[in-house]
Amino acid sequence: MDTNQPIIVKRVKKIAAGHHGGAWKIAFADFAVAMMAFFLVMWLMSSTTPEQKKAISGYFQDPIGFSESASPYVIDLGGTPTPAPDKTLNPEISEQATIDPQTLTEQQTEQLFEQLERERLDVLLIELQRKIHDDIDLQPYKDQILMDVSRDGLRIQIADAANRPMFDLGSARLQPYFEDILYIMADTMRAVPNKISVGGHTDAKPFANTAGFGNWELSVSRANAARRALQAGGLDDEQVARVAGYASSALFDRDNPYSPSNRRIDILVLTKRAQQAIQGEPGVQEQEAQLEAPEPAAAPAGSKALRSKINVFEQGVLEFNDVKN
């Protein structure tokens, strides 16, 4: 035996809690992504409306019905998607979507027409306001013009002021500035198909001449004079549905029957329903469009408070002083 053979000693270095690889990092990343997705879903559920939740639920229950009928997206930003009853795979959705198409069409048509008519009157009001506001010559008189949209249409009331009457004393002769206002209104109102109603009003002060010409006759004459001015301004004769005089039966300022604001001309751009009620067309009940003497927009507890509520220009206040007719 060779005693000179070298002795080889192997030393193994032991390290406690050594490196075990990167598998745990992948697992942790998966867990973090799952938690992020979970909280994202929770946030979306808390921010969606009940209609959107119903749409999402319907999409997963019947994806074919949704993709064939409306938007290809689960939530359509332009509107709520609806299932297609003829292509749905879900019988429950098909039963819920079964409605009377005739009834739905009539309701939708009526609602759409009323909405478009209201929008047209709103645009007309804004255009009238703009034209009068931009006319330098009419700046001193714009606080005498009141406008509001009621159930029967766009109501325009032009009232007297203590120092600026619309007519000569006790007559139906128009003042030049009042004619200019009517010309501007006629030029704008002729652009819409709606018919109009013209009414004349006086204050409660008795007026009569030797021929028995009183407030009733005076209010009718003034309303007719306003109608002639509107037609001279370009309004078609067929657009006039009614001309009436109300004397002092519909006071603007009931607390002061002799107030100049009670002497006024009101022009009502009629809705279709109100026009049918005036013309007595079949299918329209009188109580649905009560077009008796037009009432003021609100009962005036105070003249200034009433004007601040109705006057679209929000500048100036009529001087409610007592003067003659």
pLDDT digits (tens, 9 = 90+) for 243-259: 999 999 989 999 999 99
Beta bridge partners of 145: 158
Are 136 and 185 in a shared domain? yes
Are 68 and 205 in a shared domain? no
Are 227 and 88 in a shared domain? no
pLDDT digits (tens, 9 = 90+) for 72-118: 444 444 444 554 555 444 444 444 444 454 555 777 777 888 888 88
Nearest in space to 81 (alpha carbons), one of 64, 95, 103, 98: 64
User: And the tokens for 113?
Assistant: 């027409």
In a domain, 22, yes or no: no
Question: Can you tell me whether residue 124 is helix, strand or coil?
Answer: helix
Q: How many CB atoms lie within 10 A of CB 16?
A: 4
Final residue belonging to a domain, choices 63, 79, 96: 96
pLDDT above 80 for 67: no
Are 161 and 253 in a shared domain? yes
Are 128 and 77 in a shared domain? no
Number of domains in the chain: 2
In a domain, 12, yes or no: no
Are 173 and 33 in a shared domain? no
In a domain, 241, yes or no: yes
In a domain, 101, yes or no: no
Are 135 and 55 in a shared domain? no
pLDDT of residue 45: 78
Q: What is the CATH number of the domain that holds 134?
A: 3.30.1330.60
Are 158 and 290 in a shared domain? yes
> Higher-confidence residue: 304 or 54?
54
**Distance in angstroms between the alpha carbons of the first and the last residue of the chain:** 150
pLDDT of residue 322: 42
Are 143 and 39 in a shared domain? no
In a domain, 102, yes or no: no
| Average predicted confidence (pLDDT) for the chain | 75
Are 252 and 135 in a shared domain? yes
In a domain, 282, yes or no: yes
pLDDT of residue 3: 65
Find where tokens 């120092």 sit: 163
pLDDT of residue 97: 46
pLDDT of residue 77: 47
In a domain, 204, yes or no: yes
Q: Per-residue pLDDT averaged across 59-78, rounded? A: 54
pLDDT of residue 21: 63
Which range among 80-84, 96-100, 124-128, 195-199 has the greatest average pLDDT? 195-199
Q: Compute the distance between CA of residue 169 and CA of residue 172 in angstroms, rounded to an integer.
A: 8
User: And the tokens for 275?
Assistant: 């026009």
pLDDT band at 320; cut points 50, 70, 90 = very low
Containing domain of residue 68, as a range? Answer: 27-96
Dihedral sign, Cα of residue 294, residue 299, residue 304, residue 305: negative
pLDDT digits (tens, 9 = 90+) for 286-296: 444 444 445 55
Nearest in space to 191 (alpha carbons), one of 281, 111, 126: 126
In a domain, 18, yes or no: no
Q: Per-residue pLDDT averaged across 298-306, rounded? A: 41
Are 65 and 138 in a shared domain? no
Are 134 and 79 in a shared domain? no
